[in-house]
Amino acid sequence: MAGWFRRLLHKPKPSSGESSLNAGRSASSSPSSSSSSAMSSNSSSETSLARSVRLSPVSLSVINASDSARWAKRYDVCICHSEADLELVEELVSYLEGQPESFRCFLQLRDATPGSAVVTELCDAVQNSHCWVMLITPSFLRDPWCKYQMHQALAEAPMANGRTIPVLKDVDRKDYPKELRNLYYIYMALKESSFRQIRDTIMYCECAVGTTGRGQTL
């Protein structure tokens, strides 16, 4: 691991006014917790569990470098969601693509090739994305297609390694999919702060990709 990246990970936590990096944990509760109360009432405990890491300014240059492993895949992030949540997802994609990093997002209804098989397009997007955001809502849990998307992402990276980013909205802890219970999640209470946490988590993944991929032939 590069020296600057080790120093980055050991920096003291930033003040509460500074941006935080989720890394799959920020504003989240441990999925192994036995509590089954509604997550919307857990804002204070979620804050206490947050882990904040300030990103070094070099991070953006690392992930955007011409020899970065970022460019080995077509997308930075694949968004898995229910069609019922499309409006919210479009807002998230617009936010991510408008960031200084210009994240490359795969949104199936927008980016799939006309005439291609739906399953083929999904599998191709999952394989060609560095990480996957799963917007888990009541509609997601009821939709067999969403569960298929989730299983495809998990099959691509069984050990996760920060690449699978569950985002819960209006879902109780007890309904969190059992397939994901080894992963921390983001709970979407306030849209603006949740978008920021998702962006920071993707950035964390991209920094890891960028540092491990430097100097490699892509």
For 89-139, the pLDDT digits (tens) are 999 999 999 998 899 999 988 888 888 898 898 888 888 999 999 999 999
Residue 123, H or E segment: helix 118-127
What contacts 44, CB < 8 A, 6 or more positions away? none
- Output the pTM of the full model: 0.69
Pairing of strands 164-168, 105-106: unpaired
Mean pLDDT is lowest, of 65-69, 146-150, 212-216, for 212-216
**Which residue has 């495809």 as its token pair?**
152
pLDDT at 212 over 60: no
Paired residues of 134 in beta bridges: 80, 166
Residue 66's pLDDT is 67
Asked whether residue 29 carries a pLDDT value surpassing 70, the answer given is no
Q: E-strand spans in the chain?
A: 75-80, 105-106, 129-136, 164-168, 186-187
Instruction: State mean pLDDT over 5-15.
Output: 45
pLDDT on residue 75? 92
How much is the pLDDT for 89?
96
Mean pLDDT, the chain, rounded, equals: 74
Residue 4 has pLDDT above 50, yes or no: no
In this structure, what token pair is assigned to residue 94? 């617009």
Residue of higher predicted confidence among 217 and 107:
107
What tokens appear for 62 in the block? Answer: 């690392």
Query: What's the number of CA atoms in the CB half-sphere (13 Å) around residue 24?
Result: 17
Residue range 59-74: average pLDDT? 72
